Amino acid sequence: MIVLDFTRLLPGPLATYILAHLGFEIIKVEDTKGSDITRYTPPFTEWGESSVFSFLNAGKKSIAVDLKTDEGVEIARKLAQKSDVIVEGFRPGVMKKLGLDFDNIKKINPKIVYCSISGYGQDGQYSQKSGHDINYIALSGILKLFVSENLAVVPGVQIADISGAIFAVIGILSKLLERERDKNFSGYHIDISMTETSLFFGVESLSKFLVSKSEPEPFGEVLTGGVICYNLYKTKDGKWVSIGALEPKFWENLTKALGLDLLPSDAMSKPSEKNEAYIKLREKILSLTSEELDSILSKYDIPYEFVRSYSEAISHNVIRERKLFYSIEENGKKLELLKLPFMKEVKNISPTLGQHTTEILNKIGYSDQKIHELRQKGVIL
């Protein structure tokens, strides 16, 4: 199946990265100036390509078209006719101005699955408002989980962007399945708001709020550092260990392993300098090196794991034996990529700007002479 990808930056490209690893053919539509700024974001690979762009766009083809020209739009329309899916991430209304919106494309491709990814959705009072990940999670209430009276933390991952990508893939696959089952399927426009998708990342605390109407305490809930049995502790050699002894049996095993005389009720107590149980647990772990602690805890059934850097995680046997990372090599360029076990490996490195323009145009009926003329006029690259 063919996916026409008009997206840039992180959300859309991550969605089509996943689709590429599910076996879809991804045609990345770029303008002739290469306006996906991740192409130019350091650090760079040995061959001078952005590491972020190389990762997100591996396995895709690139066609460079000036959509500000009538001929460029006509190329996009012909590609849309032969595509199964379109993914776009412009501000709502941009594709309509180009004549490439869902309603126009559906006229020439009635079975199209069309996915729009935006910050606040395709309609409503915020549809034209600019924004980034930090703004979307601020509005959704997710960021409040990282903000207390004296501390405000910007999450280390892009919650809205990544949730938008994941739900875009889910939506696309669900509608393709519906199209396969329903002979009367008449196209579908998937409206992804990253503000809305980020809400699912707070579903545990959100579900409680919807019933109790009580706001979650930042860093103070059971699963966010509010109890001593589910928390982070520092070891003698400066490492951090995550303890997840929520269930009574795990808490019992933890206290037994560390030789601490703590009560079952201590598990759900709050970490504070007034809490003797917390101080005992913290100081005991602080008196042991990570190697010593690992040796002790590994003899019991206890949910624990040391906080690891990327280099430590990638080299860990648990990650390596699952074969999540794999390498592709093309023309002397070697790139390491990530996939889940059910995904396929892609074969080619991320494309240079317009690398497949001629190949793609040939497939939709453009002659070499016509392609040459369009290139001379600056319509394509």
Question: Over the chain (381 residues), what is each successive 10-residue block's mean pLDDT?
Answer: 97 98 98 91 94 97 97 98 98 97 98 98 97 98 94 96 98 98 97 98 95 94 96 98 98 98 97 97 98 98 98 95 95 95 96 97 97 98 95
Q: Give yes or no for a contact between 194 and 163, defined as CB atoms under 8 angstroms apart.
A: yes
SS3 helix, strand, coil % of the chain, rounded to 5? 45, 15, 40
Residue 124 corresponds to which tokens in the numbers above? 């409503």
Q: How far apart are CA 120 and CA 212, in angstroms?
A: 27
Question: Please, where are the H alpha helices in 120-220?
Answer: 133-140, 159-181, 194-198, 203-212
Q: How far is CA 354 from the centre of its chain?
A: 25
Residue 280 corresponds to which tokens in the numbers above? 């005992």
Residue 21 corresponds to which tokens in the numbers above? 């690893």
Residue 355 corresponds to which tokens in the numbers above? 């690398």
Strand positions, DSSP E, the chain: 2-5, 25-30, 60-64, 85-88, 113-118, 188-193, 230-234, 240-244, 304-306, 325-330, 333-338
DSSP letter string, 49-107: -BHHHHHHTTTEEEEEB-TTSHHHHHHHHHHHHT-SEEEE-SPTTHHHHHT-SHHHHHH
Nearest CA-CA partner of 110 in 166, 182, 29, 16: 182
Residue 138 corresponds to which tokens in the numbers above? 């601020």
Q: How far apart are CA 134 and CA 7, in angstroms?
A: 19
Per-domain residue ranges of the chain: 2-200+324-377, 240-306
N- to C-terminal Cα distance for the chain?
A: 25
Token pair 């502790």: residue? 233
Phi, psi (degrees; rounded to nearest 5) at 265: -70, -20
Q: How far is CA 219 from the centre of its chain?
A: 24
Q: Which residues are catalytic?
A: 161
Q: How far is CA 273 from the centre of its chain?
A: 38
CA dihedral 88, 92, 97, 100 (to 10 degrees): 30
Q: How far apart are CA 190 and CA 86, in angstroms?
A: 10
- Residue 35: predicted pLDDT: 83
What is the CATH code of the structural domain delimited by 2-200+324-377? 3.40.50.10540
Q: CB 119: neighbour CB atoms within 10 A?
A: 27
CA dihedral 326, 332, 333, 336 (to 10 degrees): 10
Residue 70 corresponds to which tokens in the numbers above? 């009538």
Q: How far apart are CA 81 and CA 90, in angstroms?
A: 20
Q: How far apart are CA 289 and CA 151, in angstroms?
A: 29
Nearest CA-CA partner of 140 in 184, 199, 73, 182: 199
Q: CB 28: neighbour CB atoms within 10 A?
A: 29
The DSSP symbol for 334 reads E
- Residue 34: predicted pLDDT: 86
3-class DSSP assignment, residue 215: coil
pTM comes to: 0.94
